Amino acid sequence: MSIKSINSSQAESLIKNNKDLVILDVRRPNEFKESRIVNSINIPVEEIEWEIDELEKYKDKPILVYCKVGVRSSVACAFLEEEGFTNLYNLRGGILDFNGEIE
């Protein structure tokens, strides 16, 4: 399986130790504006199908996917896996459980 479910501290060390990491926020734009993990890009889960070309360039990179509590990010990860992405990390508990840096 190419999706790893990780907790906040695992996500923090992934962010710290992996300069190639892509951080994907799949919440709605208004949620993204309020707060987000530093350096994340926003593609709402409802639009990910149509924005897949945007993500193609990251296919070989590790991608940390998160939402508010972890449900939408699971859906997004499953979709990306079907599209051939192989290095996916789902942030369990979403941004609500994340203790790292938020902007």
Q: Where do the structural domains in the chain lie, given as residue ranges?
A: 3-97
Question: Has residue 1 got a pLDDT over 90?
Answer: no
Active centre residues (catalytic): 67
Query: DSSP state, 28?
Result: -
Count of residues in the chain:
103
First to last CA, the chain: 32
Global pTM value: 0.96
The CATH number fitting domain 3-97, selected from 3.40.920.10, 3.50.50.60, 3.40.250.10, 3.90.180.10: 3.40.250.10
Average pLDDT, the chain: 96
- Confidence at 33, pLDDT banded by 50, 70, 90: very high
Please answer whether residues 29 and 42 qualify as being in contact, where contact means their C-beta atoms are separated by less than 8 angstroms: yes
